[in-house]
Amino acid sequence: MRNVKVWAKKLKRGSMRWERESDVLALQWVDNKPVSLLTSIDSANDTMPVTRRTKTR
């Protein structure tokens, strides 16, 4: 997965992309900054919505 910064600038927080090559899964999502993860254990087909906690002043 190339051009992480270019990809992240186009999308809003919570956007995600994935790519699989043989047994390796590469995931990237946008939080405050782009986050990348490589794994050989999980699949990219499962989606679980979560709520984000924020500090209040």
pLDDT tens digits, residue range 45-56?
A: 666 777 878 888
Strands (E), 1-57: 16-21, 24-30, 34-39
| pTM exceeds 0.75 | no
Q: pLDDT value at position 8?
A: 65
Count structural domains, the chain.
Answer: 1
Q: pLDDT value at position 1?
A: 59
Is 21 contained in some domain?
A: yes
Is 46 contained in some domain?
A: no
Query: What six digits make up the tokens of 57?
Result: 């002043």
Query: What six digits make up the tokens of 35?
Result: 């986050």
Is 27 contained in some domain?
A: yes
Structural domain of 30: 4-39
pLDDT tens digits, residue range 1-45?
A: 566 666 666 778 888 887 788 888 888 888 888 888 888 876 556
Among residues 16, 15, 57, 21, the alpha carbon closest in space to that of 39 is found at: 21
Triad 44, 26, 24: Cα angle to 5°: 85
